[in-house]
Amino acid sequence: MGQCPSCGSRTHRPVAPKGVRMAFAKDRKCAQCGTVWRVACPMWAGWLSVFVGLGLLAVGGWLGLDLLREEGLKQTEAIWLVISTGCVALGYGFAVVTGRAGRLEIIPPSREEEGGE
């Protein structure tokens, strides 16, 4: 699945992503040249994120309007959690779809891996 962006080899192994809290997939390390890269987020995942974000925004808005009419908006924390999660999903999905996020990225070696101090 994929090839090294530096040498073109198809031999690689998955490694734990460094410097990110969440990743769509593990990083890859080339068996030939040792290059580590982060795979691109698939376009379908970007679109899925857009639709999930829109759904969460719709649900949060509906719940907010419903509670406002019925109970005077007592459960605002839950509504804001749904709405903010929807905004994050929508924003990231839109960034992936427009090519501003989720691109293939070569990860530079750390100083320890280079033999530096």
For 17, the token pair is 């992503």
Contacts of 11 (CB under 8 A, 6+ apart): 30, 31, 32
Structure confidence at residue 73 as a pLDDT band (50, 70, 90): low
> What's the mean pLDDT in 66-88?
76
* 87 has a pLDDT exceeding 80: yes
Question: What's the pLDDT score for residue 65?
Answer: 75
- With b for 16 or more beta-carbon neighbours within 10 A and e for fewer, the 77-88 pattern comes to eebeebbeebee
Question: What's the pLDDT score for residue 79?
Answer: 80
pLDDT digits (tens, 9 = 90+) for 15-66: 988 777 666 788 999 999 999 998 888 999 999 999 999 999 999 888 877 7
